[in-house]
Structure 1
């Protein structure tokens, strides 16, 4: 498998499970036309038509980016008012929702009616005409920055950035009051932040301009030696609370509140203006099978009742103006616009340390060339930052079909089905994804002996953050336990040859 070339990279050969395919559904009038006609009715008549048709439809499929517990809580609130609509929940996370709906769209299948996902993913779905415009009657009650002018989406909750510090290691007097204060010598080697702080960068570009914002992040990485982590913000906040780091640069206000209420030695500084991540949004799929029930469900998400659940029970910054947040910033808010955030965060940042987890384009091309040399014509996987350039090239390549999946275990099934369909498949997985797919790979490799090439980055070696050491301890031992042959690639010149040889080794099982 290969990821970045520097620390080792490796390549794996293995086997896979079945592929299930749903039948495409036909549609009549477009969802957007149906909902536009609905909104043209007087309010009372509109609601009557909406309720009658939602009752007839009787169900919706909801692909959610939020965790299952919080999603179920909102669905339970909805069903108190509308028990006649059964909600099928798939809690997939932001990337999972994006992958699943785009994969189904390519297959001509529409399962989802409503999706919630991270705001930064919305531009891609709009670009591909996969979302229907729908302006809910609840929009006038929504906060500024929580709805787009075009009518594609309203935000359902947002997250505010803050600087969080350990009160035992940092006094209130010396605590940084502005982001620029973090460049003082006091904070060298004492900071932690997300290695992919795209939304913070987008907000700083809005406020400061691109030159100052990228220079600031470059100084944090190169001069202040900030620890760039790929763990959750909750975990990073806990590291600050334990004293492993003095400050988290891009902390979340709700995390700070939750730990502070439990007595953790932390406090936080609310910036002015406070940068708010692009709101996580809710939208109706362009070919939704149940458009009326979907509209009813979206309307509920913007109701006062739903916002109260999100604020009081889940600690979220909900969309309604008439539901106060647990912490209302005293200064201005700067909500990073979702429709601008997508292109903005894709701009290259002139900082190798902030991009160190990305494979360079020239190395990514070698991976794609190796797959072609091996005769691979079908790939599946879950996009992640380490292999992002590879995924982009595969998606654009006419000779190799790429299918994004909701999770790595599902990718195994897709690859297995592709093999039986006459394709020559390969899987592109993140290192952590190998752990997710372990059971499926082991079962298929040992029981069915269907050959499958797998390419993953090698993480946890010299040059990686300390927490990634877990992968070094689990990757090779796990492959050995599953009796899966693999090769480690350490030099760019070996990439193409190694991929080809590993694929030949896999096919040799069939002789």
Structure 2
């Protein structure tokens, strides 16, 4: 009887412990106590995610290094060529993620939440999971362009009245790939050359383009839909066109370093950011979460848009798209 009472008491103690204390992954992360995240996500978005993670797991010290996807990849290449894996987790655009995977710079890991994601948002080879998406859309300043006069298609940008009045990023490769896939390579090239002849205003960074669009530096720009929605809610004089076909959607995968020093903490962070809890935070920051069960709350239903997904592709395919892009746009000012 006494033995039964002792065992019962132990069972009560175990049951009363928080779930995290019984999780082997959490305990392994506790022993590591830190990790490094390389990301192209803006600091105003990435830092609060880390803060929420470390609030949940206060024994972890998290660091973030932020740069464009291209700069993040260059940093990883420089470090790994020197035999150093200084990052534990990396989140970049699809093109760069494809290079990281193909060059064996990431390891396989599938978080529990991955089973809730749609096909195309989880790597079938288990190297990455999508954390948020970027919709490439045509934005406009409502003080400079009335809604009825705004271009309704990509082809409408070729009208002479928009010459010199449209801005885009010099690395919008995913947008161009979507046109190639949706229209065919020849039509996309003809269109690209015609658009380049319109005197494109080249600006680096979609956040910058959105800010300059709001300020009225130019009336039109290739921007992210979530940024336009965020600015609209703050009262900015901007809107975006919902009728372009296609609307390219680029995934933003997260991967764990092949030789992550803090691999258990890295796995725990990937579990957090892909969970409904982490995805709800991403939505709260105004981005488009990859989790399919989180409604966006926009004035337009994404299901009504002509979306075209651009996923992780091989480095060879990515290099070809970049060459195609430069072949079309470089002679015309970029």
Q: Same fold (TM over 0.5)?
A: yes
The TM-score normalised by the length of structure 1 is: 0.56
Matched, 1:338 2:312: yes
2:236 to 264, 272, 276: 264
Deviation for aligned residue 1:270? 1.7
In the TM superposition, 1:273-352 aligns within 5 A as: 275-312=247-284, 314-327=285-298, 328-329=301-302, 330-340=304-314, 342-349=318-325, 351=327
SS of the counterpart of 1:284? strand
Question: Whole-Å Cα distance in 1 between the matches of residues 99 and 166 of structure 2?
Answer: 33
Question: Whole-Å Cα distance in 1 between the matches of residues 248 and 324 of structure 2?
Answer: 22
Q: Mark the CA change 1:140 to 1:262 in structure 2 (over 3 Å): closer, same or farther.
A: same
Matched, 1:229 2:202: yes
The answer on whether the counterparts of 2:247 and 2:308 sit within 8 Å (CA) in structure 1 is yes
SS of the counterpart of 2:112? coil
Question: Whole-Å Cα distance in 2 between the matches of residues 349 and 276 of structure 1?
Answer: 16
Q: Which residue of 2 aligns with 1:199?
A: 174
Matched, 1:104 2:79: yes
The answer on whether the counterparts of 2:114 and 2:129 sit within 8 Å (CA) in structure 1 is yes
Deviation for aligned residue 1:306? 1.1
Question: Whole-Å Cα distance in 1 between the matches of residues 259 and 161 of structure 2?
Answer: 55
Q: Which residue of 2 aligns with 1:127?
A: 102
Q: Mark the CA change 1:63 to 1:171 in structure 2 (over 3 Å): closer, same or farther.
A: closer
SS of the counterpart of 1:135? coil
Deviation for aligned residue 1:76? 1.7
SS of the counterpart of 2:253? strand
The answer on whether the counterparts of 2:40 and 2:91 sit within 8 Å (CA) in structure 1 is yes
Deviation for aligned residue 1:212? 0.7
Structure 2 unmatched runs, 5+: 1-18
Deviation for aligned residue 1:88? 2.8
SS of the counterpart of 1:196? coil
In the TM superposition, 1:56-75 aligns within 5 A as: 56-75=31-50
The answer on whether the counterparts of 2:164 and 2:201 sit within 8 Å (CA) in structure 1 is no
Matched, 1:218 2:189: no
Matched, 1:254 2:226: yes
Q: Mark the CA change 1:60 to 1:192 in structure 2 (over 3 Å): closer, same or farther.
A: closer
Q: Which residue of 1 aligns with 2:14?
A: none
The answer on whether the counterparts of 1:162 and 1:271 sit within 8 Å (CA) in structure 2 is no
Structure 1 unmatched runs, 5+: 1-43, 358-462, 465-511
SS of the counterpart of 1:348? helix
The answer on whether the counterparts of 1:120 and 1:278 sit within 8 Å (CA) in structure 2 is no
Question: Whole-Å Cα distance in 2 between the matches of residues 267 and 78 of structure 1?
Answer: 33
The answer on whether the counterparts of 1:97 and 1:117 sit within 8 Å (CA) in structure 2 is yes
- CA deviation string 1:88-109 (max 9, x = no partner): 3323442332122222221222
Question: Whole-Å Cα distance in 2 between the matches of residues 58 and 233 of structure 1?
Answer: 35
Q: Mark the CA change 1:287 to 1:208 in structure 2 (over 3 Å): closer, same or farther.
A: same
Equivalent residue pairs, number: 310
Question: Whole-Å Cα distance in 1 between the matches of residues 212 and 44 of structure 2?
Answer: 25
CA RMSD of superposed structures (Å): 2.6
The answer on whether the counterparts of 1:233 and 1:252 sit within 8 Å (CA) in structure 2 is yes
Q: Which residue of 2 aligns with 1:428?
A: none
Q: Which residue of 2 aligns with 1:160?
A: 135
SS of the counterpart of 1:347? helix
Deviation for aligned residue 1:356? 4.4
Question: Whole-Å Cα distance in 2 between the matches of residues 231 and 265 of structure 1?
Answer: 21
Q: Which residue of 2 aligns with 1:503?
A: none
Question: Whole-Å Cα distance in 2 between the matches of residues 68 and 247 of structure 1?
Answer: 26
SS of the counterpart of 2:139? strand
Question: Whole-Å Cα distance in 2 between the matches of residues 231 and 113 of structure 1?
Answer: 28
Larger Rg: 1
Deviation for aligned residue 1:272? 5.7
SS of the counterpart of 2:265? helix
Question: Whole-Å Cα distance in 1 between the matches of residues 188 and 180 of structure 2?
Answer: 5
The answer on whether the counterparts of 1:164 and 1:266 sit within 8 Å (CA) in structure 2 is yes
The answer on whether the counterparts of 2:176 and 2:325 sit within 8 Å (CA) in structure 1 is no
Q: Which residue of 2 aligns with 1:494?
A: none
